[in-house]
Amino acid sequence: MIDAAGYSIEKQYEVLLFHYHWIVPRLGPAPKSDGTPVFKSLIAYDGSPLEYSWKWNTTVGEPDIRYSWEAIGKDSGTASDPLNHDPTLDYMDKVTQVLPATDYSWFRHFLAEIYNPDREFYAKELEAGEPPATTLMHAVEYNKKADFGLKSYFLARKLFMGGDPNTLQEWDDAIVKLTPGEGHPGRDALMHFMATSPEGKLMKPNVMGMDNIDSSKSRLKMYFTSTHTSFKSVREIMTMGGICDIAEESLQDLRSMILAVLGLPADFPEEEEISVEATTGGNTWKDFEALCEGFIYFFDIAPLNGKPEVKFYLTTRKYGADDLTIARNLMAWMHAHGRGTYCDAYLGMLERLSEHRGLENGKGMHAYISYQCSQKGEPDIKSYISPELYHKARYAGI
């Protein structure tokens, strides 16, 4: 990926050294002979503890590579570490040796506020039959012209069971305690939207994330899923009912990307819900039948923000055709917007990642495609790519 994205040899070496020393040893035990993971991460549908991200180039820029990952150890998901926190704590304690500007203040705050320090409480849940699940994850941004950036995330508990109804209140209580006695306009705006907007009332929290930097500069991101898929609902959520000032041109640009990637006609009605069946070309993908329908959004509500910044995620692991068709549709849109310089490299990279089954023969390598409007220039667009580390086809000959 870093080669396809145009990283220099020197920067590639730096990236690979960090990945080898700080990430690989923390990706958990080897899977079983058929590819079944010992601890199934929620980051990817097959249990992979990695999800890559390709930040698309602008008309004059270059791509950047990053990934999210889960630290996993030999005791993850057992009574001694029921929430799989120990590998994360070890990583946090040590990685500052090479990235001294890393600041985990916010992460430690939320860790203390959200979770019961008595591990026996969670061990009893495992004894009662609840499956072990991801609660924490991290990300690394391999910036070309700056130090590597680290991020951390909290996942809503009991996602396998439809989510914990107490999650939003628990997270909000912890957010308020970040700046006691001070204003938090971004948080207030989000809570108002969720309490008053018909679309806001339907959103369910699934992830909360932050940059591991000085709190005065960090984002605080809350991710929600909406079951609605019409562009009318996308417009309402992206603008937060009119609170966020997004130009109509930007909204129509987002709409055109959604329709292009999913292979829908340009005149698809804004009021009509986009069904899975309308986008999959008649194919049924059994691995994804159980996934919830809908789109994902994040809201950056850092305490210093006056208004939240909103980002849209098109859930291409659920919607759209096979991975090759999605790639070609996205690349055609990029070319039409003057951003096609790296399209051939992107497709070549995907083909190498998918040698186990071929892009045209499956779905899910394109997990999401995100779009964030910019007040200063071109929108920020990313492809989130599952490497399918535990895909059965990778182990067929073993």
Rounded to 5°, the CA angle 234-235-239 comes to 115
What residue numbers does the annotated binding site for dimethylallyl diphosphate cover? 66, 151, 153, 219, 221, 223, 313
What residue numbers does the annotated binding site for L-tryptophan cover? 51
Q: Residue for token digits 């069904």?
A: 275
Rounded to 5°, the CA angle 296-386-18 comes to 110
Rounded to 5°, the CA angle 129-110-237 comes to 90
Is-contact 383 56, C-beta < 8 A?
Answer: yes
Q: How many CB atoms lie within 10 A of CB 104?
A: 19
Distance CA(184)–CA(195), nearest Å, equals: 17
Nearest-CA neighbor of 145 among 245, 28, 6? 6
Nearest-CA neighbor of 331 among 57, 81, 106? 57
In the DSSP assignment, the letter for residue 354 is: T
What residue numbers does the annotated binding site cover? 51, 66, 151, 153, 219, 221, 223, 313
Residues 6+ apart with CB under 8 A from 310: 237, 238, 239, 240, 244, 297, 298, 299, 300, 372, 373
Q: What is the largest CA-CA distance in the chain?
A: 61
Distance CA(99)–CA(86), nearest Å, equals: 20
Is-contact 199 237, C-beta < 8 A?
Answer: yes
The three-state secondary structure class of 86 is helix
